[in-house]
Amino acid sequence: MKWQKKKRLQGKQARYSLIRKLRKDKKTSEEFESMLSALSLEEIIGLKLELAARAIDSRLFGLALWAGMPYIVHEAVFKYAVSATRTKLECMNFIGMKNQQFYSLWNRYQIDSYFSEEEAEN
């Protein structure tokens, strides 16, 4: 029996890329990404909050930032996992999530529509 290359499964999301989407939307560039990679995640979140506060004259009172952070982080990790994996099953295994919870979040974060403009052009 000869050795044969294993066929790789590729689902619809194999073409999803968060970087490609943000570059297409002109929200990032290679130069910006290299500067961003030098910062820690904590510094990036702090910088983003400071910029938001500056835009509204430091009036972030009344926003439940502390309570809302887990939801923001979950959405970011979910979108990264979708763009980093080839299939939904692989994505579920990557983030350690059960089927029902995964599809619930898939619909809540509207993953197909989020990445759909990018896929239409490819």
pLDDT digits (tens, 9 = 90+) for 30-42: 999 999 999 999 9
**Distance between CA 69 and CA 86 in Å, rounded?**
28
In a domain, 3, yes or no: no
pLDDT digits (tens, 9 = 90+) for 70-106: 999 999 999 999 999 999 999 999 999 999 999 999 9
Residue 59 and residue 69 share a domain: no
Question: 69 lies in which domain range?
Answer: 64-110
Residue 72 and residue 59 share a domain: no
Q: What's the total number of domains in the chain?
A: 2
Residue 57 and residue 22 share a domain: yes
pTM: 0.76
